[in-house]
Amino acid sequence: MKQVLVVEDDRNLNQGLCLALKDQDIQVMPCFDLKSAREQLTGGAAELVLLDINLPDGSGLELLHEIKTGRKPVPVILLTANDTEMDVVMGLEHGADDYITKPFSLAILRARVKTQLRRELARVSKSFVIDSYRFDFEYMEFYKADTPVELSKTEQKLLRLLVENQGVTLNRATLLDRVWTDGAEYVDENALSVTVKRLRDKLGAAKYIKTVYGLGYVWVVKQDE
């Protein structure tokens, strides 16, 4: 079940939004200020946030910034009575995924919520959590434990092929063809060996990225204790 956080200090409107959005696939969590919203987000369960800008204990833009710069960013739809061009620009520059001004149609709101949830599902399908590693290919964010790792485009392509095919040995010809899509026939085979070594070193993944001699490379599924 998908969880949606509604951060709106008008209790009647908040209740109306919760009723309008709740169905068998969506659990709605109401919050009325930044403090309670932060407490809910700490648990990491929310998959979408509907966020009012004007809240009793501060600006929703503060929370928007925290969400988008945090370890697990989620989609945010701003709900606000502010409909000037500058408000829209500020919201989008802070990373908002959508922006709806009051008053608004509940039918349109539901449609936009479902659109964002579908996009988030598609994004999550492009991310992997493997032991202490987290790889998000949509946002190009790669972590070993809590430490970010910078990868080149070529290294990202190679890593994605390996983790999408965990436990499967990918031969060198296949990797050359799919990593260097703009002309593998002109790439020195040594380039693959060099890229694999750089990727192993950056991730500290010598136990994960294994060489299968005479064939190619594999991201192993299980580790020896």
Between CA 186 and CA 29 the distance in angstroms is 55
Q: What is the pLDDT of residue 25?
A: 82
Give the sign of the dihedral formed by CA 79, CA 85, CA 90, CA 96: positive
Q: What is the pLDDT of residue 184?
A: 46
Q: What is the pLDDT of residue 163?
A: 92
Q: Which residues are CB-contacts of 67 (< 8 A; sequence separation ≥ 6)?
A: 41, 49, 73, 74, 76, 95
Q: Give phi and psi for 180, each to the nearest 5.
A: -105, 70
Beta strand 76-80 with 2-7: parallel, antiparallel or unpaired?
unpaired
Q: Cα 83 to chain center, whole Å? A: 28
Please tell me which residue, 25 or 121, carries the higher pLDDT value.
25
Could you tell me the pLDDT band of residue 138, with boundaries at 50, 70 and 90? confident
Q: What is the pLDDT of residue 45?
A: 75
| Omega cis (within 30) before 30 | no
Please tell me which residue, 202 or 91, carries the higher pLDDT value.
202
User: Per-residue pLDDT tens for 188-197?
Assistant: 778 999 999 9
Instruction: Tell whether the model's pLDDT for residue 122 goes beyond 90.
Output: no
Instruction: Tell whether the model's pLDDT for residue 225 goes beyond 50.
Output: no
Buried b / exposed e across 171-204, counting CB within 10 Å, b at 16+? ebeebbeebbeeebeeeeeeebeebbeebbebbe
Report which of 76, 80, 56 is spatially closest to residue 65, judged by C-alpha positions.
76
Q: What value does the mean pLDDT of the chain take?
A: 87
How far, in Å, are 159, 170, 189, 197 from residue 175 at the CA level?
Answer: 10, 7, 10, 14
Instruction: Tell whether the model's pLDDT for residue 71 goes beyond 80.
Output: no
Instruction: Tell whether the model's pLDDT for residue 110 goes beyond 50.
Output: yes
All structural domains of the chain, each given as residue ranges with its CATH number in brackets, are: 2-123 (3.40.50.2300), 127-219 (1.10.10.10)
Instruction: Tell whether the model's pLDDT for residue 43 goes beyond 50.
Output: yes
Between CA 109 and CA 225 the distance in angstroms is 50
Instruction: Tell whether the model's pLDDT for residue 219 goes beyond 90.
Output: yes
Could you tell me the pLDDT band of residue 212, with boundaries at 50, 70 and 90? very high
Q: What is the pLDDT of residue 123?
A: 66
The pTM of the full predicted model, rounded to 2 decimals, is: 0.59
Could you tell me the pLDDT band of residue 164, with boundaries at 50, 70 and 90? confident
Q: Which two tokens stand for residue 172?
A: 């060198």
